[in-house]
Structure formats: C-alpha cells, structure tokens
Amino acid sequence: MWGGRFSAGPSAIMEEINASIDIDRRLWREDIAGSRAHAQMLAAKGIISDADVAEIDRGLTQIESEIESGSFSFSAALEDIHMNIEARLKEIIGAPAGRLHTARSRNDQVATDFRLWCRQACDDLDTALGALQRALATRAGQHADTIMPGFTHLQSAQPVTFGHHCLAYVEMFARDRGRFQDARKRLNASPLGAAALAGTSFPIDRDATARALGFDAPMANSLDAVSARDFAAELLGAAAICATHISRLAEEIVIWSSAQFSFVTLSDDFSTGSSIMPQKKNPDAAELCRAKAGRIIGDLNGLLIMLKGLPLAYSKDMQEDKEQTFDAIDALALCLAAMTGMIESLTVNKPAMRDAAASGFATATDLADWLVRALGLPFREAHHVTGALVAMAEKKGCDLPDLTLEEIQSVHADVSGDIFSVLSVENSVASRISFGGTAPENVRQQAERWLKELEGTGS
C-alpha cells in the first residue's frame, strides 16, 4: 500500500516507527537501577514477596552482565529498553518478572531513567569543563605577559595579553558549569510511582525509591512527573550556550592559525593536511567544534518544538526526546575533549602576536590618556589630537612610536618627550591595572587563583 520503500507490510512499518530500542538502549543501567529500587520498595511494603524480589534481583544481575558483555539480544519488536529488559527477565526468572511492573508504568519508568541519565550527563560535563578550564588557566599562567592585539569588530583595538584572552574563556566556562549544576539541582526529583499518569492504588513508598536512586524527593504531582521534560530542555539549553562559547573559541583558533595571522600553530594531533595542497595544515577539529554548536542548538530547538504542543500527560511524541538529548550531549562532550586537546597542545607564536599588537595604532588610547593625565586636556580634545597624530602616522606610513617629537608638537605644542613612555605595547598592557584589566600582574594573579580553584577538578 505504501509503495516501493518497504518490502514488508504495514506491521513492519509500524514496528519501525514505534521502536526506540536503537536509541534508548543506552538507558539500560538506569532502567535496571530503577527496577531494583522499585522491586525493593514493593517488597518492603509487602506488595510482592521477598522471594520475588530476590529472583528479580538475580535476573537483573544476569541481564546486566549480558548487556555488558554484548551477548544480550535487543529486539525492535519489543520496542524499547524497558520491554526488552522485562521480557528477558521473564525468560530468566519466569512468573516473578510479571510482578515487577506492579504500581509502575513505562511512563514513570522512562521519565525516571531519563532523569538519571541527564543527571550523570551534568556531572560528566562538569568534569570535562573543569579540565578545559584547567588547560586554559595553565596557558594563561604561561602567557601572562605575551602581548597580542585585542580586537573589537576584528579590528586592532588595544593590546592585551594572550593569558588575559584565555582567562576570558575560563570565566565563560565557569558560568557554563554553574548552568549544568543548576539544571542538575532542578532535575533531581523522582517521577517513579506516578505510574501511568494518576498515581496508583497500591500503598507504595515514593520517598524510599527516590532515596534509593539518589533523588532529593519524589515529584509532588503525578501528571507533572510523567509529562515534564523541561529538565532535558534545561540541560540542552545549558549545552547550547556552552557549545556557543566553544564555537567562539574555535572560530578564534581558525583565525589565529591562518597563515595571515600565524598567532598559533596547532599540534599535528589536532590538525589535518590537504591531499592536494602540501603546505596546508587545517584546523579541522576547531571547525567541527564550530559546526557542532549549530547541531546542538538544533537539538534544543527540536526538543522544544516537539514539546510545545503536547497536552498532559504522556504522548508518544516524547519518545523522540532522547535522540536529540543524546546527540547534543555526545557532541558537546566530544567538543570539550577536542578543545581541551587543542588548547593543551597548540604552540603560541609570540613574535607574530607582538608584531600584530604593535601595528594598527593600538596604543592610540594610551596616547590620548597621556594627554589627559599630563596636559589636563579634556578626553574629547585628547581624542581629537590623537586622531590627528594617527592620520599623520598613517600618511607617513609609520607607527605612533615612530613619529618624532617635533612632528607630535606640530599638532599640540605642549607635548613632551615623556609621551614616548606610553606608546609601546608593553607599557600599554602594564598600565591596565584596574580590576579585571589585562596587566600581566593581574593576569598572573587570576591564573593562579583559577588554578588553585580548579585543583582536583577535571579529569
């Protein structure tokens, strides 16, 4: 009836669209943990016997080792990880397997498993972000006084240090960690026992299962417990922001490693060659980090759009939440590892950075500030005088420090030779001592503070 794509009948199509086992098999550990907690609670409340729970436990242990060793055979006909495990449990222990699903539904089961998975993802991402921060803070300590151009509009603006630039990302990634930690706090509540949507008539103990699974508390509304996916949206929201930060750093690496900039050289480990152009060394890992940010943002979008029209409680649409979440978290974990590797192994080309910092009249602001400080000019007038000096240097084809005192005095007669002390890029960065500024002393202190804070974090 459906034409050429399928050789088998509609039931095969139904099976294909319905099955999620290829995606949700990753939840097997969480599913087994959830079943153990549930069975134990059922026995403690006298809903099933101790003999049943012992059998269930034995069967789940065997399933665990079968999945771990790769001998477990997953079946699409059994739809998802929950039914695959339950069916196998029945094969192993027989009748008691049927009692496990008392006072439980796949709706609260999948919500429980998925929350547990997302909680672990928050912890793993936190660790990976810690490692990236450490790599950046280490580079910052090594390059506290390595001068590079600071840009606005990608035009040379004022000199900064490479260490300062690295620490900017350390700060961003600290906020990303905060977002994952925050998401973790909110997601750590237990849906288990909400059953299909309305709760159950069995005398279950939801506090006990919540505690056994490390949740802070059971969720207070059964409809919310099975319907909520904002925990995944929040995780992906944090992931999308973090990926955006990685993408910006990746973009900078692409620019810095170009022959025109030559600020950094990527290690061979984190670059590729061209099959036709022998001179090329391409920043593929950085480019892919940049691209994967788009994909992660897309996953967040897909999840929100899937959710936005769903009435309470469970709808099958929600089965599609996992593929997007796994995709986003896998991509982000890979980007974090690749970025950490790139940062740790890249070589910094100090002379190229310094030369670029000294070109483009990067100390013009320092010159204007000197006119304000030494001659008492209003800043607007100092700005004007400096503009004229920049125009003069441009016309002469030289830089600001290359102008003679006579030339400078032709624009403003009161200028003294002292002005040359502020025109070097070294003096410029050294003078930026305000809190959060780029002065090497500041950068050294901040790098040390971060390295101390990050001790013992990361992998």
Q: What is the Cα–Cα distance from 431 to 366, expressed in whole angstroms?
A: 9
**Backbone CA torsion sign across 179, 184, 189, 190:** positive
Q: Shortest distance, CB of residue 43 to ligand ARG, whole angstroms? A: 25
Helices (H) and strands (E) in the chain, counts: 18, 6
24 contacts ligand ARG (rule: CB under 6 A) = yes
Buried b (16+ CB within 10 A) or exposed e, 232-261: bbbbbbbbbbbbbbbbbbbbbbbbbbeeeb
What's the chain's length in residues?
459
CA dist list (Å): 397 to 258, 393, 442:
25, 6, 34
Q: Shortest distance, CB of residue 311 to ligand ARG, whole angstroms? A: 14
Q: Shortest distance, CB of residue 316 to ligand ARG, whole angstroms? A: 6
Residue with tokens 């907690």: 37
- For ligand ARG, give the closer residue by CB, 111 or 293: 111
Which of 105-113, 212-220, 330-338, 445-453 is the region at the interface with ligand ARG (rule: CB under 6 A)? Answer: 105-113
106 contacts ligand ARG (rule: CB under 6 A) = yes
Q: What is the Cα–Cα distance from 176 to 355, expressed in whole angstroms?
A: 34
- For ligand ARG, give the closer residue by CB, 182 or 317: 317
- For ligand ARG, give the closer residue by CB, 80 or 234: 80
Q: What is the Cα–Cα distance from 59 to 52, expressed in whole angstroms?
A: 11
153 is catalytic: yes
Which of 106-114, 137-145, 378-386, 424-432 is the region at the interface with ligand ARG (rule: CB under 6 A)? Answer: 106-114
350 token code pair: 């100090």
Among positions 37, 110, 241, 307, the unique one binding ligand ARG when judged by CB under 6 A? 110
Question: Reduced to 3 states, what is the DSSP secondary structure of residue 156?
Answer: strand
Q: What is the Cα–Cα distance from 193 to 37, expressed in whole angstroms?
A: 11
Q: Shortest distance, CB of residue 232 to ligand ARG, whole angstroms? A: 12
Q: Which one is catalytic: 7, 11, 69, 153?
A: 153
Q: What is the Cα–Cα distance from 15 to 18, expressed in whole angstroms?
A: 5
Backbone angles phi, psi at 149, to 5 degrees: -70, 140
User: Residue 175 carries which side chain, given as an amino acid letter?
Assistant: R
Q: Which of residues 288-317 bind ligand ARG (CB under 6 A)?
A: 314, 316
340 contacts ligand ARG (rule: CB under 6 A) = no
245 is catalytic: no
- For ligand ARG, give the closer residue by CB, 20 or 363: 20
Phi-psi group of 104: left, alpha or beta (phi > 0 → left; psi -120 to 50 → alpha; rest → beta) = beta
Among positions 107, 161, 190, 428, the unique one binding ligand ARG when judged by CB under 6 A? 107
Among positions 318, 357, 367, 408, the unique one binding ligand ARG when judged by CB under 6 A? 318
Among positions 84, 319, 324, 386, the unique one binding ligand ARG when judged by CB under 6 A? 319
x/- mask, ligand ARG, residues 48-87, rule CB under 6 A, reads: --------------------------------x-------
Question: Reduced to 3 states, what is the DSSP secondary structure of residue 309?
Answer: coil
Contact residues: ligand ARG, CB under 6 A: 20, 24, 80, 106-107, 110, 314, 316, 318-319
The residues that are catalytic are 153, 274
